[in-house]
A and B are shown apart, each in its own frame.
Chain A
C-alpha cells in the first residue's frame, strides 16, 4: 500500500502536468496544428467549385479579399437540375467547435442563391475557415480557405 506522502507526490505531479497541458501545451498545439494543407479554395482571387452528385456547386464570397468581422455576401450557384429547397452554408473552423453560424440563402433565379453572413476572428490567430454548403436532398461539400484578420 502506498504511503500518504507518495500519493500526495503523485497527485501533485498529475496536477502540475494537467496545469501545464491545459495552460501551455493545449493553446500552443491548437495554434500550431497545420490546417493549411486542407485548403481547397482560393476565395480571395475568384470563385471555388466542387461537384456533388453531378451538380457543380460554385461558391463566391465578396467583397474580396475576404476579411473576418465584416459583412460578407455569400453566393452559391448550382448548375444542372435544381431542387425545391434552398441551399445553406454553415461556417466554422476545421478542428475547432465555434457554435452554429449558418448563412441562409435566398434564390435570385437561375440556380443562383445569395445571403449575408460574417466570419468571426479567432483570438488564437488561426485563419483557416470552412464553409460547408448543404444542398437539401443532395448532401454537403466543404470549401476550406484562409481569411484575413
Chain B
C-alpha cells in the first residue's frame, strides 16, 4: 500500500470516528433540523444530497490546499466565508424552527402584511420551506464551509500531501481525494442521526414538533452567536 493510500485509509477512518463523536455534537443539530423540516417527505435522499454537496466543498478545498501546499494562506483567505456559513447555518435553523412551531404566524406576516415580493418575504419563504430534495445540494455546498477542527486537520494533511506530490495536477487530485474520503467517513454517523430524527411516528407527534422547534431556535441562536464571535 502506498503512502497516499495509507493516508486515505487513515482519514477515512478518522472521518468515521470523528463522525460519531465530534460531528454528531457539532453538525448533528443541522441534520436534525433539516430532517424535521422535511415533515412528510423521506429524509434519506435530501440528506444524501446534502452530504454530496458538503463533500464536494471539502474536495474543492482539498484540491486548493493540495495545489498551493499552504493551509494557513488559504484558511486566512476563506475566514470570512466560514464565518458567513456559520451565521447562515444559525439563521436557517432559527427560521426553520420558527416556521415549524406555528406559534408565530411568520408565514402570514411575510406573505400578507409585508411586500410578498420583498427580499425578506422571499428569503423567509425559501428558508422555512426547504423541502425540495434538490435544495439540499446547494445547502451542503455552502455548509461544507463551516469551520470545524477535524476538517482543518484533514486540510493540513491535504496541503502536506500536495507538497510531496510531483506536479500540480497530481497535487490537486491527491488533496481532493483525501478530503473526499474524510467526508465520506463522516456520513454514516450523520445519516444515522437524520434517520432517527426523521422517523415517521415522530413526525406525526405534534408535541415533539413543538418542543423540537423551540430547541431548534435555541440551537440556531447558539450557531449565530458562535458565528458572530468567530
Contact = CB atoms under 8 A, between A and B. Distances in A.
Interface of A: 8, 11-12, 15-16, 18-20, 22-24, 26-27, 30, 69-71, 93, 96-101, 117-118, 120-125
Contacts of A70: 72
A19 B212 contact: yes
Contacts of A121: 147, 149, 152
B101 to A, nearest CB: 15
Interface in B110-164: 146-150, 152-154, 156-157
Please provide the 8 A-B residue pairs with the shortest distance between their CB atoms, ordered closest to farther: A120-B152, A99-B153, A99-B14, A23-B29, A122-B149, A26-B25, A99-B150, A123-B147
25 contacts: A11-B202, A12-B202, A12-B207, A15-B208, A16-B208, A16-B211, A23-B32, A26-B24, A27-B26, A96-B22, A97-B17, A99-B11, A99-B14, A99-B157, A100-B11, A100-B153, A101-B156, A118-B72, A118-B156, A120-B153, A123-B86, A123-B147, A123-B148, A125-B226, A125-B229
B191 to A, nearest CB: 15
A8 to B, nearest CB: 7
Nearest to A20: B215
A100 B10 contact: yes
A98 B72 contact: no
Contacts, number: 106
B149 A123 contact: yes
B217 to A, nearest CB: 11
Contacts of A124: 26, 149
A20 B218 CA distance: 10
A19 B226 CA distance: 20
Contacts of A27: 25-26, 222
Contacts of B25: 22, 26-27, 30
Interface of B: 10-11, 14, 17-18, 21-22, 24-26, 28-29, 32, 71-72, 75-76, 86, 146-150, 152-154, 156-157, 182, 193, 196-197, 201-202, 205, 207-208, 211-212, 215-216, 218-219, 222, 226, 229-230
Contact of B14 (A16, A69, A100): A100
A140 to B, nearest CB: 19
Given A12-B207, A19-B32, A123-B230, A97 B72 contact: no
Nearest to B222: A27
B210 to A, nearest CB: 10
Contacts of A11: 201-202
Contacts of A125: 226, 229
Contacts of B196: 15, 18
A26 B182 CA distance: 23
Contacts of B153: 98-101, 120
A23 B222 CA distance: 10
Nearest to B22: A97
